[in-house]
Structures are given as structure tokens and as C-alpha cells.
């Protein structure tokens, strides 16, 4: 699926590594390792709250990195980066009209993702094997999604390149995904992204599962917002499933009400919905079990994703 809601910024120049290291929650040095092609990260404000999320890619060009982020806030990310440019020898350019982002994934695995207890059978370890035999040219980036392997393969390619058609011309059959099918997979896995789901400057990194998605480095030196980025929270982004058929009445920020509670203090708030599946910022239950909640007129089920740590040993926060 061509992800039309995603776009690319390029950061290049002799100070690109130092510049990005001071702005991202992850460690840019991981990309300097030969086999590491991408990493997931978040960008914070000085209060330690998330203003943007993105995937940083290493390119074939020296001192040049791509940042994939939400197309609706790509200009705001451009401005955010430019604010801290100061004396760094870097240039930041919007590549929206030059590059596209693609995702190759197995939709059948989405059907198992919501109720899966382990990652067994959901990780796409083999998805790159046939791609390595196709000549896409030097200006194409192919790698596993750095968040979790269940999200499949990420491809960044020149805008004029039809990745799906090129793969078919090389004798490999891939079906074209319906628009929103990748979002459907994300929601079943409980993974949010972008300004509409994360909201600008509202949450700390851990609330958005930054730590569980390997985007938070505790070993690197100081970066913008680090002092407050480790703030604990009782809430995290979690997957939900609507149990009846009134989804059309739901909008983002609809409160989730915990059914057993006598008080109607919201358990959390809806952040996105696609069909019967969605994601919400939810107060994580202490017991490791599924939870039924009410969202507007709907009953819904909220579960802890299989890719979270073992909560019998470690609680979130």
C-alpha cells in the first residue's frame, strides 16, 4: 500500500548526525551500524511532551538522512527542526513531491493481531527475501518497519516509481491493498502514529509506547525534552474493538467509561477508529486481562498487545 498520509523530510550536511542526535529520543548512532537501516523516534518540546513521531532512514548518500512523518504535520516538523539548526551545517528539505512511502504487509496477520498472545506467526521475517532480488535502483530504501516486525516492510522510493508494478514485472504477485488497510493492521496491533492520533504536545513518550517500540534511548546524552521525557503515566495507547454496530457515532476524544466503576470518570479517550477497531489512550488495568468499556453508545473491548512486556513481571510506566 502506498501510504499517502506519510511524507519525507531530508536532513543532510556535515553536522547531520550531531544535529539529529540532539533532537530525537532514539540514538542516531544505531544507523551508523552497517545493517541498521531505520529507527523509530519521537521529537519532544522543552517540556518533554511529544510533538512529532517519525522513522529516520539512512540513505546511500553520506551525511544524509530521511525522516518519515505525518504528511499533515510535515511542515510543522520542518519548522521544529529549523528552530534548532543554529550553527549546525545542515540543510532541511521537504521531499513530499520527490518520494513516496510504501508498506508491504500480510493482511491475513491483521486478523490474528488483536487477540494474539505472542508474536508467533505474526512477524514478517521473510518479507524482504524476494525484494533483495529486484533491482529498484540506488535511490530506494527497503527495510523492516523498525517499530515491530508485524508491521511488515517499509519502502521509500522516488515518487515516479510504481513499486507494486515493478515487483509484478519481476514475477512476484502482490495484491494491492485497499486504502486504509495498513491503518487497520496498526489499530489491531495497538500502534498509533501521526498528529491526529498522538496530538501535538499532549503526551509524554511512554504514554505513546515510545519505550516499548524501541524509540527511547536511556543511554544517550542530552536531547531536547529529555529531562522530563521519563515521566511515568498510568495511561498508554492500547487497541480496542467495538462489540456492536454503532461506530458511525464515534469521534476522536470520545471518552471510554470503565463499566465496573461506580464513578464515571473516563478510563481514557479514543484516538482513532477504523471499522470496528481503533486505538485509545487508556488507563492500563493492573490485572493482565481483557477489559470491557463503554465508548459513547458502544460496548468495546480493550486488550494489552502481545508485543508489550510480560506484565506479570513488569508493569507499564
Domains and CATH numbers, the chain: 6-187 (3.30.1360.120), 234-316 (2.40.30)
As a whole number of angstroms, the distance between CA 308 and CA 284 comes to 12
Q: What is the DSSP secondary-structure string of 277-308? A: EEEEEEEPPSSSS-EEEEETTEEEEE---TTS
Q: Residues 195, 70: contact at Cβ < 8 Å? A: yes
Q: What is the pTM of this model?
A: 0.90
CA-based torsion, 223, 228, 234, 235: positive or negative = negative
As a whole number of angstroms, the distance between CA 305 and CA 287 comes to 14
Q: What is the pLDDT of residue 130?
A: 75
Q: What is the pLDDT of residue 176?
A: 86
Q: What is the pLDDT of residue 314?
A: 41
Q: What is the pLDDT of residue 317?
A: 35
Q: Residues 89, 17: contact at Cβ < 8 Å? A: no
Nine-digit cell string for 287:
490485572
Instruction: State the 10-residue block means of pLDDT for the chain, 317 residues long.
Output: 96 96 94 89 94 97 96 97 93 97 83 61 58 83 93 94 87 85 94 96 94 89 74 87 76 86 80 93 76 86 87 42
Q: Residues 66, 95: contact at Cβ < 8 Å? A: yes
Instruction: Output helix, strand, coil percentages for the chain, rounded to the nearest 5.
Output: 20, 30, 50
As a whole number of angstroms, the distance between CA 204 and CA 50 comes to 6
Nine-digit cell string for 250:
464515534
- In 3D space, the residue among 55, 51, 98 whose CA is nearest the CA of residue 79 turns out to be 51
Q: What is the pLDDT of residue 285?
A: 74
Amino acid at each position: 500500500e502506498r501510504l499517502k498520509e506519510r511524507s519525507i523530510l531530508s536532513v543532510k550536511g556535515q553536522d547531520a548526525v550531531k544535529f539529529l542526535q540532539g533532537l530525537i529520543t532514539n540514538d542516531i548512532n544505531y544507523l551508523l551500524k552497517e545493517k541498521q537501516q531505520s529507527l523509530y523516534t519521537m521529537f519532544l518540546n522543552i517540556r518533554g511532551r511529544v510533538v512529532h513521531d517519525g522513522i529516520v532512514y539512512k540513505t546511500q548518500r553520506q551525511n544524509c538522512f530521511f525522516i518519515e512523518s505525518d504528511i499533515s504535520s510535515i511542515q510543522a516538523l520542518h519548522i521544529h527542526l529549523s528552530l534548532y539548526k543554529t550553527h549546525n551545517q545542515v540543510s532541511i528539505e521537504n521531499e513530499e513531491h520527490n518520494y513516496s512511502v510504501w508498506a508491504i504487509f500480510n493482511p491475513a496477520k491483521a486478523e490474528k493481531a488483536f487477540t494474539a498472545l505472542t508474536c508467533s506467526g505474526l512477524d514478517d521475517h521473510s518479507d524482504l527475501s524476494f525484494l533483495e532480488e529486484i533491482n529498484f535502483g540506488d535511490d530506494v530504501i527497503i527495510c523492516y518497519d523498525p517499530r515491530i516486525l508485524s508491521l511488515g516492510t517499509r519502502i521509500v522510493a522516488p515518487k515516479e516509481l510504481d513499486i507494486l508494478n515493478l515487483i509484478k514485472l519481476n514475477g512476484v504477485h502482490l495484491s494491492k491493498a485497499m486504502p486504509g488497510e495498513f491503518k487497520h493492521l496498526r489499530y489491531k496491533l495497538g500502534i498509533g502514529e501521526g498528529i491526529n492520533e498522538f496530538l501535538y504536545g499532549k503526551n509524554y513518550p511512554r504514554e505513546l509506547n515510545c519505550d516499548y517500540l524501541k524509540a527511547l534511548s536511556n543511554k544517550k546524552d542530552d536531547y531536547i525534552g529529555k529531562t522530563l521525557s521519563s515521566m511515568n503515566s498510568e495511561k498508554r495507547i492500547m487497541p480496542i474493538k467495538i462489540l456492536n454496530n454503532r461506530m458511525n457515532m464515534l469521534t476522536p476524544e470520545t471518552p471510554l467509561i470503565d463499566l465496573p466503576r461506580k464513578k464515571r470518570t473516563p478510563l481514557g479517550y479514543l484516538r482513532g477508529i477504523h471499522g470496528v477497531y481503533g486505538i485509545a489512550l487508556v488507563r492500563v488495568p493492573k490485572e493482565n486481562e481483557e477489559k470491557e468499556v463503554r465508548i459513547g453508545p458502544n460496548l468495546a473491548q480493550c486488550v494489552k498487545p502481545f508485543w508489550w512486556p510480560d506484565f506479570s513481571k513488569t508493569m507499564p510506566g
